[in-house]
Amino acid sequence: MEYVRLGKTGLKVSKLCLGCMSFGTPGGPTHPWVLPEDEAQPFFTKAIESGINFFDTANHYNFGDSERITGKALKAYARRDEVVVATKVGLRMSEGRPNDRGLSRKHVFDQIDRSLARLDMDYVDLLYIHRLDPDTEHEEMLDALEAVIQSGKVRYVAASSMWAWQFAKLREMQKARGYQQFVAMQNFYNLAYREEEREMMPYCASEGVGVVPWSPIARGFLAGNRPREGQSTKRAATDKMAQGYFGSAQDYAILARVEKVAEKLGVKPAQVAYAWVLSKPFVTAPIVGVTRIGQLEEAIGALDVKLDAASIRSLEAPYKTRDVAGHS
């Protein structure tokens, strides 16, 4: 396993991040297709044995179930100082309660304590704002984030999908106040969705911000989990977000190129999709979401897949600008 700095920080993370959204209570309120605790354990052992030290969850994922399972597994299989744990705050944590979402000082303070209790940890290495909150002023949000850093409950703060101008503005506000700036951006990026190349990726590269993309294989689409004649996995059949994002003629043209390169190299399509993301110098570590152990093994194997310039040109050729997505 190769380890790299997260942006300009001294924090070293593995080139792959295990995404823990896949773990929770099946039929739960946010992601009904998830795996229960007993089925989640082999993913953590495989990840740790393979050298993955970077784990990503969120309070929102089945309202805390993912955090609980993640924390319990990491306590069993790894030392706390050996792993980098990221969680998120901002999305709803219940139905109907007005202060149970957002980025107000109240919600940030309440949720970091609840996240730490579920994780059974004293601190998280990285706290993301899951999305921007239109009902909270930026000053209040940034003050709250700085306060949880100063309390010792959070080591670094980061952000997820938004417009590049918003991210730049927030980081400049932090700098002007003498606050720790966001050190990473977790954004939507893969061969079938490359709109982040317009502004966000150049900004992050210029400023030394780590990039930790979500959906690096297009929520499984680039692994072939949604063939034209039907759906082949439980997640593909129930993941409404993926169904809304992918399935156009352009997407299938890109998938065809992925499959062609995979056949030429003797690897899996998912490995080509991961290898393409990993080939980008501005990417720190893509988030690997898995529901089968073979999927994790494929992702780890993708670290050894090297794409030549001709293959990269072929993979990128069918792409045309599409509507921006993933900000809400």
Tokens of 122: 């004293």
Any idea what DSSP says for residue 183?
Answer: -
Round to the nearest angstrom and report the end-to-end CA distance of the chain: 33
Annotated catalytic residue: which of 61, 193, 274, 319? Answer: 61
pTM for the predicted model, two decimal places: 0.94
pLDDT tens-digit readout, 132-173: 999 999 999 999 999 999 999 999 999 999 999 999 999 999
**Calpha distance 85→116 (Å, rounded):** 11
pLDDT tens-digit readout, 176-217: 999 999 999 999 999 999 999 999 999 999 999 999 999 999
**Calpha distance 215→221 (Å, rounded):** 10
State the chain's maximal CA–CA distance in angstroms. Answer: 55
When pLDDT is cut at 50, 70 and 90, the band that residue 235 belongs to is low
Q: Are strands 287-289 and 54-56 parallel, antiparallel or unpaired?
A: unpaired
| Domains in the chain: ranges and CATH | 3-316 (3.20.20.100)
**77 has catalytic annotation:** no
The alpha carbon of residue 3 and the mean position of all alpha carbons in its chain are separated, in whole angstroms, by: 17
**Listed residue (93, 116, 10, 50) closest to 297, CA to CA:** 50
Strand partners, 218: none
When pLDDT is cut at 50, 70 and 90, the band that residue 232 belongs to is low
Any idea what DSSP says for residue 212?
Answer: -
What is the phi-psi region of residue 280: left when phi exceeds 0, alpha when psi lies from -120 to 50, beta otherwise? Answer: beta
Q: What percent of the chain has pLDDT over 70?
A: 95
